[in-house]
Structures are given as C-alpha cells and as structure tokens.
Amino acid sequence: MINEKLEKAINEQINKEIFSSYLYLSMASYLADLGLSGFANWMRIQVQEEAAHAMGLYDYLIERGGSVELEAVAKPQTTWNNILHVFEATLEHEQFVTKSLNELADVADEVKDRAAASFLQWYINEQVEEESTAEDIINKLKLIDSDGNALFMLDKDMGARTFVAPVIG
C-alpha cells in the first residue's frame, strides 16, 4: 500500500496534468481561431501528451494500491495577446509543472518510497524536453518577429507533429 502523504501528492499531480491538457486545448482553440492550424495541431498533440502523463500517474497509483481522487479542473485562460504570448505562457506553465514534479519527488524521498522515486524520474526527465521545446519555439517566434512568410513556414512545420504515446516509467 502506498504512503498516504504520497498518495495525496500523486492525486494532486494528476489534477495538474489534467489541467495542463485542458490549458493546451484552450491554446489550440485560440491558435485555430488565428488561422494557425499548424500551431493548433502542435498544441492538440500537447493535449494528448499531458493526458497520457495524467494516466501514467493514475495507473501507477492504482497499481500501488492507492485510490485516485479526481478533483474539479479549473477553467483555463482562453485568450492571449499573440502567438508569442501563448508560448511564453506554455513555458511558464511547464516550469510550474517541473517545480510540482520536483516537489512530488521530494515527498517520495521523504517517505523513502524508492519505487515512486524511480517512477517519477521519467517525469522529471520529460520536463527537460518540455521546457526546452517551448524555449525553442519562443526563440524561433522572436527571430521571425512579424515576417508573415516565416510564420507561414513555421506553422507548416508545427502541423507535421504527430502524437506518439510515451512509454512512462
């Protein structure tokens, strides 16, 4: 049976991952409204990734004999100033998730749950990629500034992203 404090912390992280999925769905809608179907596609793939992250935690908690307690999901932001602002908000959110996962790993260490600590390492490693990818997109958006042709090409590139289910753990 999983430690009660760790169970509570994992449940909180599940909610944060579901919120992440919800936030990125809102961003996808905003980007689609701007006519940026490639960027909207990129965000829709992000929606699927975050949902998979939540399900990985969900399955792990059940496997360890814990109980999943789903909470209400907060309404996400629905508008941004521009596409650059969307990805700056994405990076800020991923940094929040990184901090949250590090705190969750601290709980696993505190209760001396080696299995949970090992399991959570995948999530922590994944966050390096999540933050790096958001920073890369921000840098490209800053580089192209208001060049419509460059934005068109980047939107096309973003549209090529496909979902590959992560192997968690």
The residues, ordered by sequence, that sit 6+ positions from 102 with a Cβ below 8 Å of its Cβ are 124
The domains of the chain are located at 4-158
Average pLDDT, rounded, for the chain: 97
Q: pLDDT-derived band of residue 132, with 50, 70 and 90 as boundaries?
A: very high
Task: Write out pLDDT tens, residues 73-105.
Answer: 999 999 999 999 999 999 999 999 999 999 999
Using CB atoms within 10 A of its CB, is residue 154 exposed (0-12), middle (13-18) or buried (19+)? buried
Query: What pLDDT, on a 0 to 100 scale, did the predictor assign at position 164?
Result: 95
CATH-assigned architecture of domain 4-158? Up-down Bundle (1.20)
Q: pLDDT-derived band of residue 146, with 50, 70 and 90 as boundaries?
A: confident
Which own/partner pairs from 128-133 qualify as long-range (CB within 8 Å, at least 24 positions apart)? Answer: 130/94, 130/97, 130/98, 131/91, 131/94, 131/95, 131/98
